[in-house]
Amino acid sequence: MRTVSGVDILPRSFYDRDTRQVALDLLGLHLVVGEGGEQKIARIVEVEAYLGSQDLACHTSRGMTRRTQVMFGPPGHAYVYLIYGMYHCLNVVTEPEGKGCAVLIRAVEIVSGFTGKTSGPGLLCRALGIGMSHNGVDLTQPKFCLVRPATAGAIRVVRRPRIGVDYAGHWAKRLLRFYIKESPCISRR
């Protein structure tokens, strides 16, 4: 298995599972961006699950387009998009190729290598320097990946409706937003 700084990189099989399960398992894991002196590490504390083409809040609910190509692709890749013309959002693609599922990273805590605000999907991408050049990148290689930290203690998970998807009918009510209760970096209580 590949490693960064002596820690195992999460393998593709981690992502190739039920999206809600992946979303829950992502809480507390570390996101690694860049290598060597440029390396930035962040602890994931808030996520949202997007369940594919039948999920009216999910970008893939409108079918395969150039933008959603990556989401319909194989698991374990980054899906990055531009929102409101000024912020980027980072997702990890889940489940087998063709399902169009992903998990949005909504908030992180700073571990090392960078500064800035990280409580919100646009803010964390800005702080970590994530942009469209990261779209479609394979998350199983050292320069952009997820790892399980050695010191992963127990956490309490809060389940809420997703943010900003009121247009999605009954899908807006589903409890698909998860965050670590005790984290100070949650985007909204």
Partner DNA sequence: TGCCGGATCCTG
Partner DNA sequence: AGGATCCGGCAA
Q: Does 140 sit near DNA (CB under 7 A)?
A: no
For residue 53, what are the contacts with CB-CB under 8 A and spacing of at least 6?
60, 61, 63, 100
Is residue 20 a contact partner of residue 176, using CB atoms and an 8 Å limit? yes
CB of 99 to DNA, least distance (A): 13
Number of residues that bind DNA (CB under 7 A): 36
CB of 35 to DNA, least distance (A): 25
Provide the pairing of β-strand 101-112 with 87-94. antiparallel
Is residue 100 a contact partner of residue 71, using CB atoms and an 8 Å limit? yes
CB of 86 to DNA, least distance (A): 5
Per CB under 7 A, the list member of 43, 162, 171, 177 interacting with DNA is 162
Amino acid at 132: M
Q: Does 1 sit near DNA (CB under 7 A)?
A: no
CB of 79 to DNA, least distance (A): 7
The secondary structure of residue 188, as a DSSP letter, is -
Chain residues 65-124 in contact with DNA, contact rule CB under 7 A: 65-68, 71, 79, 81-87, 89, 91, 102, 104, 117, 120-124
Q: Does 17 sit near DNA (CB under 7 A)?
A: no
- 3-class DSSP assignment, residue 148: coil
CB of 164 to DNA, least distance (A): 3
Q: Does 164 sit near DNA (CB under 7 A)?
A: yes
Distance from C-alpha of 68 to C-alpha of 61, rounded to nearest angstrom: 10
Distance from C-alpha of 92 to C-alpha of 12, rounded to nearest angstrom: 11
Considering only CA atoms, which of 40, 18, 16, 20 is closest in space to residue 30? 40
Chain residues 38-67 in contact with DNA, contact rule CB under 7 A: 48, 50, 57-59, 62-63, 65-67
CB of 150 to DNA, least distance (A): 29
For residue 69, what are the contacts with CB-CB under 8 A and spacing of at least 6?
none
* Nearest to DNA of 4, 68 (CB atom): 68
Q: Which residues bind DNA (CB under 7 A)?
A: 48, 50, 57-59, 62-63, 65-68, 71, 79, 81-87, 89, 91, 102, 104, 117, 120-124, 162-165, 167, 187
